[in-house]
């Protein structure tokens, strides 16, 4: 049976919760008349691993990427700043070209999820408290294609598991109940450290290895070697360290001062 298409202005979110085994039909390719429309008039939030991947794709530093391609927004619910990808004057993603996404292999997590969205609940009924939903925009012809997926298969095909694994501790920071309930109010210094450890990996590396950081925190030699050689490990280390800075959950405690 044909599904009724949504009209412009209608909420594109399907009010049906999906789990990992839920099925949907979708395919996106250059042959569709709507190709690239979903890359216009959009808001793309960036995760730390998004910034790392894209800045490496572009061959620039994290600070340069954030200055050229991103803008800061403050979310009152978390009291922590986030980054959104800058768009062009006509509202398009700056990385979309005639043949589609110019950074497709390193595109942001939110683009990988599309046409799905991810929600969270405290209910024990949903696996890991997460649920999924479809985003059916009126222009999108991808839902008329025959290709069928489960949510689990879609996640696997889009490398979402890897992104979620690397961003795991960061997600736990921004969704921390102490923040959401108002029990913790990050001061200006804490917010600066949060920005440094979350998004500015290159500057954080300098902070760790060119300051007294390793004199102040107890970090084992194996970890030091890992974060020196592997940028992803450095990012994950930064997020674990931030839990201590923001919430006192020190995995790498401060050394006792003599």
| Residue 198 domain flag | yes
Across the range 89-115, mean pLDDT stands at 95
Same domain, 81 and 200: no
| Residue 69 domain flag | yes
Same domain, 85 and 136: yes
Cα separation values, 168 from 7, 49, 72, 171, Å:
36, 10, 21, 5
| Residue 153 domain flag | yes
Dist CA 192 CA 81 (whole Å): 10
Question: Per-residue confidence at 236, pLDDT binned at 50, 70, 90?
Answer: very high
pLDDT digit string (tens) for 2-21?
Answer: 333 334 445 677 778 999 99
Which segment of 71-80, 131-140, 224-233 scores lowest on mean pLDDT? 71-80
Same domain, 60 and 131: yes
Same domain, 41 and 148: yes
* Of residues 27, 25, 46, 142, the one with CA closest to residue 103: 46
pLDDT at residue 125 greater than cutoff 50 = no
pLDDT at residue 145 greater than cutoff 70 = yes
Cα 56 from chain centroid (whole Å): 16
Tally Cβ neighbours within 10 Å of residue 20: 15
pLDDT at residue 1 greater than cutoff 80 = no
Q: What are the strands, taking DSSP E only, across 80-128?
A: 80-85, 96-97, 100-101, 116-120
Same domain, 66 and 153: yes
Question: Per-residue confidence at 126, pLDDT binned at 50, 70, 90?
Answer: very low
Same domain, 127 and 242: no
pLDDT at residue 224 greater than cutoff 80 = yes
Question: Per-residue confidence at 128, pLDDT binned at 50, 70, 90?
Answer: low
pLDDT at residue 25 greater than cutoff 50 = yes
Same domain, 54 and 100: yes
pLDDT digit string (tens) for 185-216?
Answer: 788 898 999 999 999 999 999 999 999 999 99
Longest pairwise C-alpha distance within the chain: 75
| Residue 236 domain flag | yes
- The partner residues of 45 in beta bridges, in order of sequence, read 84
* Of residues 111, 80, 79, the one with CA closest to residue 94: 111
| Residue 252 domain flag | no
Same domain, 199 and 239: yes
| Residue 234 domain flag | yes
Q: Are 17 and 123 in contact (CB under 8 A)?
A: no
Listed residues 153, 172, 191: the one ending a domain = 172
Q: What is the percent of the chain where pLDDT is above 90?
A: 72
Same domain, 88 and 152: yes
Q: Specify the pLDDT at position 183.
A: 66
Same domain, 51 and 116: yes
| CB crowding 64-87: b at 16 or more within 10 Å, else e | ebbeebbeeeeeeebbbbbbebeb
Listed residues 126, 157, 172: the one ending a domain = 172
Cα separation values, 231 from 98, 172, 215, 238, Å:
32, 20, 21, 10
pLDDT at residue 36 greater than cutoff 80 = yes
| Residue 116 domain flag | yes
Number of structural domains the chain divides into: 2
pLDDT digit string (tens) for 51-89?
Answer: 999 999 999 999 999 999 999 998 766 778 899 999 999
Q: Specify the pLDDT at position 175.
A: 87
Q: Which residue has the higher pLDDT, 181 or 103?
A: 103
| Residue 94 domain flag | yes
- The partner residues of 97 in beta bridges, in order of sequence, read 100
Dist CA 53 CA 43 (whole Å): 19
Listed residues 172, 187, 214: the one ending a domain = 172
Q: Specify the pLDDT at position 24.
A: 97
Same domain, 213 and 241: yes
Same domain, 86 and 209: no
Domain residue limits at 191: 176-247
């Amino acid at each position: 049976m044909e599904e009724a298409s949504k009209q412009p202005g209608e909420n594109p979110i399907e009010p049906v919760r999906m789990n990992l085994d839920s099925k949907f039909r979708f395919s996106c390719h250059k042959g569709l008349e709507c190709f690239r429309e979903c890359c216009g008039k959009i808001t793309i939030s960036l995760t730390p691993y998004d910034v790392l991947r894209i800045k490496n794709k572009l061959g620039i530093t994290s600070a340069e990427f954030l200055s050229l391609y991103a803008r800061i927004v403050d979310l009152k619910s978390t009291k922590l700043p986030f980054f959104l990808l800058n768009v062009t004057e006509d509202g398009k993603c700056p990385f979309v070209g005639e043949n589609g996404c110019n950074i497709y292999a390193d595109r942001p997590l939110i683009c990988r999820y599309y046409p799905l969205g991810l929600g969270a609940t405290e209910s024990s009924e949903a696996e890991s408290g997460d649920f999924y939903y479809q985003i059916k925009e009126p222009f999108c012809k991808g839902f008329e294609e025959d290709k069928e997926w489960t949510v689990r298969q879609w996640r696997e095909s889009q490398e979402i598991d890897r992104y979620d694994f690397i961003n795991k501790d960061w997600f736990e920071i921004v969704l921390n109940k102490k923040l959401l309930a108002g029990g913790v109010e990050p001061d200006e210094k804490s917010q600066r450290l949060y920005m440094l450890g979350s998004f500015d990996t290159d500057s954080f590396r300098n902070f760790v290895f060119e300051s007294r950081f390793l004199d102040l925190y107890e970090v084992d030699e194996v970890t030091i070697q890992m974060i020196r050689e592997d940028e992803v490990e450095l990012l994950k280390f930064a997020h674990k360290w931030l839990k201590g800075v923001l919430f006192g959950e020190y995995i790498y405690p401060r050394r006792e001062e003599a």
